[in-house]
A and B are shown apart, each in its own frame.
Chain A
Amino acid sequence: MAALSGSELASRFVSKALEMGFSDVAVLVEDVSRVMVKFANSQPSVVQRWDTSVASLYLSKNRRLYTGSVVLDRLRDLDKLLHEISYVVDRVSESELYAPLPEPSRKAGGFSFVDTRVVESMKDPSRLAELVLEASAREHKVDFTAGKVDLWLRRKHLATSTGALLEEESTGVEVYVRSFKEDGSGQWGFSSRSLDEKKIEETALKASELAHESRGRSPVEPGVYDVILSPLVFSQLLNVVAWMSTGLSILTGTSIFTDKKPGEQVASTLLTVWDAPRDEKLPHSTGFDDEALETYNKPIIEKGVLKNILHNSKTAAKLNARPTGNAGWVAPRAWNLVIESGDYKFDELVSEVKRGVFITNNWYTRLQNYVEGVFSTIARDAIFLVESGRIVKPLERLRIADTLPNILKNVAGLTRDTYDVMWWEVRIPTRAPYALIRNVNITKHFA
């Protein structure tokens, strides 16, 4: 007998589970091929290759929920797997979040976001690694460079008890680079569905330029400053906000929107942030969510007003809303983020600042309190003092220690140019401009 495909295995599982008395069933099979060159000290440190086929499962019976994942091969022994699941489902209590799977508007078909150049480069990524290393060293004699080139081909097949049988094939690219020169360092990142060597080159050049310019750093005094955030930093903070904009975050007390309703002003009128699954340039774009609902672009925040909480059918039912095509069977999520651009050129944004700080990268954002959004994050790599509308000198590391509502409300300017970024600390692909935020609390160690 010929081996069954991922879609066939998924469909067979759904049918058998319905026969056994489950009321809602969905199977998401993902076949992923992925190659990553990680480099450090200006040479590869490891090249990694993954080829995985994993089936994620969702079942419910009598309002009891089960989710799981197994390697695809385990789907071949249907009876054993379903009996194991039944044993659990028959013994757990009802879920307070149960809602039936929604009726899909489109039950069959496929989506494709494939760039064959990505697939070709996966066979031999050494040329891209060389490009990054060469470009890093081209204009500024950096001491060393680190980063990664990450390429993937992903096929997903979704079968549901509501009759959907959907497929999607997509490629993706994520590149980030960090270069070091003396006491300076710079980091930049890029992500896309398709291979863009010019952007990869620019990423490496930018990291080296920032490393070069941030040498000879001075300490900064703690206090309140106007702050310009690079697209990397703004994306990182908006990733946190996007995670907080999901229904499950609200229900589990991890959101600044816990006591907010759509329609309330939560940010500066300059700020519009989209969940953008249909932006085909960004690498987490997708045509359908895990409940087989078609995805669509929607503002999370529009002109400062909270417009949409991201839902699956369960969180929507619990919070008296409608699903938004963002499932996750239990946890909804944002797909891609697009922060709308503003009117400024970068130099014009700088000229708005009398006394401020320009931060190009950050990491380690942690919260004291998710509901009030009290957080701090550490600025790293190139940081600059801005005085009287000019970038004056590089600064040592510092922290932003403020609240997320303050950051959102104090957005005072955005650049026209935007950048499609991802890196280790930005896991939702984000298109972001530079942002000017007024009156931000800056700290550093006291002792």
Chain B
Amino acid sequence: MAQNTSKNAQIDADDIMISMKGVNKWFGSFHVLRDINLTVYKGERIVICGPSGSGKSTLIRCLNRLEEHQAGDITVQGITLNNDLKNIDEIRREVGMVFQHFNLFPHLSILENCTLAPIWVRRMPKARAEEIAMHYLERVKIPEQALKYPGQLSGGQQQRVAIARALCMEPKLMLFDEPTSALDPEMIKEVLDTMVGLAEDGMSMICVTHEMGFARKVANRVIFMDEGQIIEEKDPESFFNNPENDRTKLFLSQILDH
């Protein structure tokens, strides 16, 4: 029996993508993340939502050390996230990130944006990196823009390039930080379609988003945050149909009713 449990635990440990235990973070004296405990398994798609200022972006930015947490433990793919630069670099190689404002490099062409990290971080030969970049640009359906510069593309196209750029590092996990919040309504769909496609291929992802349709369609779990805490965590069906917390109910009524 004891052997059996330990065996299960072993399998579980292998399947864990991210574990956050008692994570706390402060901006100055402002307590922005309060005792966050979260485990993400391989292949899981998690949507984090909540009112603005609730710490959801900060949470996922802590996962690749764009923000530093002050207390608690974060492990990503078994690597402990601490001040060791080697660990941070290793985690960043395995974790792709897509930002609200794309953060493409305006002085590089689309293709160069996508090949830069594989060439410099993964030490990949240029030809191979370009091959991979074209593969992912085709996947996000803009191979014909490869030689243009980011400034010449529409917002939706830029965000798809940003997704392709992250994919070129062949990450194990993708983080999306409000990927559609800065887009015109007409362009949201093309980005969401790309993300749905990724999810269907089994990519592990954590998305901070207010696109509830996307959450319903793709997420395994929906996490609701308020004032730096995770106050509700459910599968999408029960999250939308019978939320428990009053704050969640209020939030859902406000974004769904109009």
A and B physically associate: no
Where the two chains meet, the residues of B that have a C-beta atom closer than 8 Å to any C-beta of A are none
Where the two chains meet, the residues of A that have a C-beta atom closer than 8 Å to any C-beta of B are none
